[in-house]
């Protein structure tokens, strides 16, 4: 009997991050990727956004495995929140496992909770009776993979994040031989990344950092700072090589950077000679021109570090930027972190340091461009094609690349699903349907998962515009105001400008309460709501702002 395959994305479509695909093969459920999305400024106070996973919880007994293809947070970090509800074996490379352990510890969870199965980035193994093939991909993150899983109708292949490149450093090369061997078997469906689908040509060699900054680093008269994403192990290894060749000592900017470098060295991803490394405590003992200060972090946290250092608000006062320093910003923003990036770099230019700000066009991440995608398509020749990872424009561009190939892909076998929709493939063919799979965002706020909703976020946005506190005391028996009003404003308008607003808000406050007290029936809650609405209307009309308005009414006998 032939298998029935269902493919459902819980995240990663029409967004940047939160990548998570469910692969259902005749009732056995496999989770491919399980990532977070970094919040933008519309989500104040939120640490991460993860996929809603009610559907997985409902079917947790069917979940046979998590397959993690790389160690970036947008592809694997959400498993820290999924796993307690839906435990299952986790298959990943050694490096990816260590990155997940590091993230889990950072969220104050126990990394020993996972059932890890370490697999090399190119390997073949069996899960739930099915052959699974991992093939090494050339990506910024060490030991990244694509994967294929067997079905009675052919292989379902996930490209992973990749570029066609055999000239990269060892540990970052595309295993074309493994892909060619996989192509000897029928490919039922290929699911491929889309972020750079609109970029003509190949991505290589535009992901390389050294050609862009090597001369500047060697010629620098003062200290050299290099800011990189902690997961971008390819560019980190290039920075280390440049430090060695220019006889500089690598100094970690902070404890987080030191721990990351230690982990990478332990895993043999990096080799830092002893004579080219110095702890942060030695920063004032070493000649400025002999220092490379490396700053590593994930996503918006890295931009926050840059901004604080530039504004001289960093904790370690031994590190202060001046005009003799060279600062290499090798961490271009994602689409949802542009504002944080721009603010940090703008502050950096104010320091007078020599800033080398590498744009997305100069320093690309190792994602597949048009010709990379065509190479994968021409090798595997899938019966069905499904673009993954990216905004809708990226998914559409990827689909158009496939349609242009002349390999029997057309509008009936190239699917553009949305999160929560299902692609079904069986002996009757392939089709896209809506099975009402629960999906959406879960907000991570500290240790809370899904505790923050639209109302809380709205309140936080209002708090950003200030707070107005209205207080008075009511005699319940006499039905009149016996103390107050007292109106206090914080973080709202300048004190001198507040007098007229306070007078008007006080008048509205008192008159509204008196009107409510004069009615036959009243309640404190109804008075608070009426005061809130009228006061906010008045403030909005006179200032154009919507601060948080807090009516405080005290009842006495």
Q: What is the pLDDT of residue 449?
A: 59
pLDDT band at residue 519 under the 50/70/90 scheme: confident
Classify residue 37 by its DSSP letter.
B
Q: What is the pLDDT of residue 393?
A: 95
Q: What is the pLDDT of residue 252?
A: 96
A 10 A CB-CB count for 342 gives 12
Helices (H) and strands (E) in the chain, counts: 15, 25
Give the mean model confidence (pLDDT) for residues 284-313. Answer: 92
Using CA atoms, how far residue 370 sits from 173, 204, 294, 485, in Å, is 19, 12, 33, 67
Distance CA 194, CA 15 (A): 11
pLDDT band at residue 492 under the 50/70/90 scheme: low
pLDDT at residue 266 above 60? Answer: yes
pLDDT at residue 464 above 90? Answer: no
Range scoring the smallest mean pLDDT among 114-128, 136-150, 364-378, 453-467: 453-467
Note whether 232 and 261 are within 8 A (CB): no
What pLDDT, in 10s, does the model give residues 96-147?
A: 999 999 999 988 899 999 999 999 999 999 999 999 999 999 999 999 999 9
Give the mean model confidence (pLDDT) for residues 140-163. Answer: 95
Q: What is the pLDDT of residue 313?
A: 85
What pLDDT, in 10s, does the model give residues 5-54?
A: 999 999 999 998 999 999 999 999 999 999 999 887 666 567 889 999 99
Classify residue 383 by its DSSP letter.
S
Q: What is the pLDDT of residue 131?
A: 97
pLDDT at residue 467 above 70? Answer: yes
A 10 A CB-CB count for 430 gives 21
What pLDDT, in 10s, does the model give residues 50-81?
A: 999 999 999 999 999 999 999 999 999 999 99
The rounded percent of the chain whose pLDDT value lies above 70 is: 94
Quote the Cα angle for 304-306-308, to 5°.
65
Q: What is the pLDDT of residue 187?
A: 97
Chain mean pLDDT for the chain: 89
pLDDT band at residue 460 under the 50/70/90 scheme: low
Give the mean model confidence (pLDDT) for residues 135-162. Answer: 95
pLDDT at residue 312 above 80? Answer: yes
pLDDT band at residue 444 under the 50/70/90 scheme: confident
Q: What is the pLDDT of residue 474?
A: 86
Using CA atoms, how far residue 195 sits from 162, 307, 338, 373, in Å, is 11, 27, 16, 11
Note whether 327 and 225 are within 8 A (CB): yes
pLDDT band at residue 193 under the 50/70/90 scheme: very high
Q: What is the pLDDT of residue 525?
A: 83
Distance CA 337, CA 300 (A): 7
The rounded percent of the chain whose pLDDT value lies above 90 is: 64
The set of residues, in sequence order, having a beta carbon less than 8 Å from that of 193 and lying 6+ positions away, is 159, 160, 161, 162, 367, 368, 387, 388, 389, 390, 398
* Selected residue with higher pLDDT from 487 and 393: 393
pLDDT band at residue 340 under the 50/70/90 scheme: confident
**Which of 36, 83, 28 lies closest to 59 in space, CA to CA?**
28
Q: What is the pLDDT of residue 385?
A: 98
pLDDT at residue 456 above 70? Answer: no
Q: What is the pLDDT of residue 285?
A: 93
Task: For CA atoms 238, 240, 241, 243, give the dihedral sign.
Answer: positive
Q: What is the pLDDT of residue 447?
A: 53
Q: What is the pLDDT of residue 446?
A: 57
- Structure-block tokens of residue 270: 């990096």
Query: 């600062």: which residue's tokens?
Result: 327
CA torsion, ordered 203, 375, 170, 364, to nearest 10 deg? 10
pLDDT band at residue 458 under the 50/70/90 scheme: low
Q: What is the pLDDT of residue 27?
A: 95
What angle do helix axes 392-403 and 370-380 make, rounded to 10 degrees?
A: 50
pTM greater than the 0.85 cutoff: no
Range scoring the smallest mean pLDDT among 386-395, 408-417, 542-551: 542-551
Note whether 443 and 46 are within 8 A (CB): yes
């Amino acid at each position: 009997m032939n298998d029935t395959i269902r493919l459902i994305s819980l995240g990663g479509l029409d967004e940047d991050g939160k990548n998570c695909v469910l692969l259902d093969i005749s009732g056995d459920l496999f989770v491919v990727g399980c990532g977070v999305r970094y919040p933008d400024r519309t989500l104040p106070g939120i640490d991460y956004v993860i996929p809603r996973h009610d559907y997985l919880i409902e079917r947790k007994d069917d979940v046979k495995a998590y397959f993690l293809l790389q160690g970036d947070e947008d592809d694997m970090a959400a498993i820290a929140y999924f796993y307690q509800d839906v435990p299952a074996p986790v298959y990943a490379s050694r490096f990816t496992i260590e990155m997940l352990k590091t993230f889990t510890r950072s969220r104050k969870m126990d990394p020993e909770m996972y059932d890890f199965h370490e697999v090399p980035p190119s390997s073949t193994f069996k899960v739930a009776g099915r052959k699974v093939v991992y093939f090494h991909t050339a990506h910024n993150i060490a030991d990244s993979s694509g994967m294929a899983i067997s079905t009675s109708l052919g292989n379902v292949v996930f490209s992973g994040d990749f570029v066609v490149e055999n000239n990269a450093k060892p540990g970052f090369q595309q295993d074309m031989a493994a892909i060619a061997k996989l192509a000897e078997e029928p490919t039922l469906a290929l699911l491929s990344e889309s972020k750079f689908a609109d970029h003509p040509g190949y991505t290589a060699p535009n992901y390389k950092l050294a050609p862009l900054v090597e001369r500047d680093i060697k010629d620098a008269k003062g200290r050299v700072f290099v800011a990189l994403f902690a997961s971008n192990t390819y560019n980190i290894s290039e920075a280390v090589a440049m430090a060695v060749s220019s006889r500089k000592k690598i100094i970690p900017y902070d404890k987080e950077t030191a721990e990351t470098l230690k982990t990478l060295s332990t895993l043999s991803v990096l080799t830092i000679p002893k004579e080219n490394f110095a702890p942060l405590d030695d920063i004032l003992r070493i000649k400025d021109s002999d220092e490379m200060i490396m700053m590593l972090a994930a996503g918006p946290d890295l931009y926050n570090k840059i901004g604080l250092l530039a504004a001289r608000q960093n904790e370690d006062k031994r590190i202060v930027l001046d005009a003799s320093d060279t600062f290499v910003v090798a961490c271009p923003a994602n689409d949802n972190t542009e504002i944080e990036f721009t603010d940090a770099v703008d502050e950096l230019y104010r320091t007078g340091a020599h800033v080398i700000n590498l744009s997305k066009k100069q320093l690309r991440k190792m994602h597949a461009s048009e010709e990379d995608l065509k190479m994968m398509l021409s090798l595997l020749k899938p019966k069905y094609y499904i673009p993954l990872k990216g905004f809708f424009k990226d998914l559409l561009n990827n689909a158009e690349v496939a349609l242009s190939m002349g390999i029997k892909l057309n509008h009936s076998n190239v699917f553009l699903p949305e999160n929560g929709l299902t692609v079904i493939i069986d002996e009757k063919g392939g089709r896209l349907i809506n099975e009402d799979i629960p999906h959406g965002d879960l907000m991570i706020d500290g240790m809370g998962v899904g505790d923050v909703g639209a109302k809380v976020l709205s309140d936080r946005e209002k708090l950003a515009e200030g707070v107005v506190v209205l207080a008075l005391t009511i005699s319940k028996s006499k039905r009149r105001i016996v103390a107050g009003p007292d109106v206090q404003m914080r973080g709202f308008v300048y004190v001198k400008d507040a007098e007229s607003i306070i007078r008007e808000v006080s008048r509205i406050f008192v008159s509204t309460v008196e009107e409510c007290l004069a009615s036959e029936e009243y309640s404190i809650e109804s008075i608070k709501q009426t005061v809130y609405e009228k006061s906010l209307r008045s403030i909005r009309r006179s200032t154009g702002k919507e601060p948080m308005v807090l009516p405080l009414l005290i009842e006495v006998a």
